[in-house]
Structure 1
């Protein structure tokens, strides 16, 4: 079933997600996916989509994804299981064209060094995929990001560095020099209105272009944001301004026994 679900419409969630809710989500796979278009500024057309995870309560109400993933980090194997099932869903219903998917290095870390990696096998088989590396806030995350980048690059999978400049995030220079796409966090929209902030962003965009990488600016909600993106000479934008083009799939009402 297709229906638009935006970050603005999900229900606020408490800082601690109850274990019973997590167990229900995993047992019944109350999952969904929202595909957001990535718009090329030069043509004004969608050149691909990003697949975003969505979660639902037993009665079909949407839940904010971040608290769910934050809670899953306490159980790495559960995080891996959700990431694997979510990626199967995202690939199964994907629109035509390039597909961008997020991958948390902590999930990838579950199988590092093992002979078999189902998640790597699943994503590595898709012909038009871009894996977005989510970098977090400590050195171990940066090391896992490097291992993730090496593994997917070896399989010829294109990479994007996600949420560059997000609060409490860090960036590995080694990973930055490996990826094909730079995705700048929405916080740059406010930061770029400051002289120093704009200078920093321009230099980072210039570095990306010198490395033959393409740049996406996230969080575009208003025409003023779009005008700023044009001034900064980014390649593509993404955000709520294009909400009419969002596409959603929900498995919330699917019987528990039915596989997707």
Structure 2
């Protein structure tokens, strides 16, 4: 029997009491959570018939008994199986076994969707992502929660986003705990975010009120955070680099000589003057390097590419410096 209360009478966090559970206890707990989740979805049916629910599923439970329980629980329900997502922890090698993969295909045949949790936490492989019948991948929060201290981790977020798009699966970013992180991850193009900056855990009645009041849009139209601007210029440069490499003739290069034609310029202008002036000077140099490609002289193509990358590094460094100063000031 697992202890749910600590010595001081406080309720233990899942990470503290779950390791105490035996396999049969985990199976019973999973069934109860799934049953409660279906009840909650039914209760919210009048608000949005497209809502779905995610339930953690220990890979060790995947088998014939699990399949039968899911089938029985869905019988007579108004909830479509596609509105249930089972989140599978990706640690360990269980999911690499052929039998486990067969059982996952059987689960998919019922109609439920599958998500691979904690991608990047230490065990995931590209081969696993390619072979498993996954609908979602959830980026481990360690790559997101610390973005304000390590903005460079946004490169990993964008790489996973591009990979998920290529595999035709959805990417969920966990650990979105501050407004700046929410801004940056949304700017990077991630559509599904999880963390305190979206909402904290809440009972069903509070969730209903939250849904009725309407969720704040992910892509804000007002001033960007410094971290959001950093993500914005990263995304813009990635698109520009790809266009220059593959089909640069589609770019309106002369108009790009004027940085005021770009959203990032306007976002930088909204920053405090001390930050804005220094960053804008570098941003103008970056656009001059872009405009140089309007001269179609192929002889100096590589020099222009190198200069563009050099100016982009200067821009990234200027933004990173401003982020570090802002972080140090806020922690004082």
Is TM (by shorter chain) over 0.5?
yes
**In terms of Rg, which structure is larger?**
2
Which of 139, 153, 164 pairs up with 1:184?
139
Unaligned runs of 5+ in 1: 1-18, 26-54, 250-260
Is the aligned partner of 1:122 residue 2:73?
yes
**1:1-260 to 2 correspondence within 5 Å?**
19=1, 22=2, 61-72=10-21, 75-94=22-41, 95-96=44-45, 97-108=51-62, 112-113=63-64, 117-122=68-73, 126-127=79-80, 128-137=83-92, 139-143=93-97, 146-166=101-121, 168-171=122-125, 173-175=127-129, 178-189=133-144, 190=146, 193=150, 195=152, 197-243=153-199, 246-248=201-203
CA contact (8 A) 1:135 1:171 kept: no
Shift in Å, 1:216: 1.5
Distance change (3 Å), C-alpha of 1:88 and 1:60 = farther
Structure 1: distance between partners of 2:105 and 2:52: 21
Shift in Å, 1:140: 2.4
**Which is helix-richer, 1 or 2?**
2
Residue-by-residue CA offset, 1:173-202 (whole Å, 9 max, x unaligned): 34555222221121112379364x443332
Structure 2: distance between partners of 1:105 and 1:120: 17
- Normalised to the residue count of structure 2, the TM-score between the two structures is 0.49
Shift in Å, 1:56: 6.2
Distance change (3 Å), C-alpha of 1:119 and 1:77 = farther
CA contact (8 A) 2:59 2:94 kept: no
Distance change (3 Å), C-alpha of 1:114 and 1:185 = closer
Residue-by-residue CA offset, 1:36-81 (whole Å, 9 max, x unaligned): xxxxxxxxxxxxxxxxxxx668x99532112222121xx2222212
CA contact (8 A) 1:162 1:182 kept: yes
Structure 2: distance between partners of 1:158 and 1:179: 7
Q: Which has the higher contact order (CA 8 A, sep 6+)?
A: 1
Secondary structure at the aligned position of 2:203 is classed as strand
Structure 1: distance between partners of 2:119 and 2:190: 14
Unaligned runs of 5+ in 2: 46-50, 205-332
Distance change (3 Å), C-alpha of 1:104 and 1:62 = same
- Normalised to the residue count of structure 1, the TM-score between the two structures is 0.60
Secondary structure at the aligned position of 1:101 is classed as strand
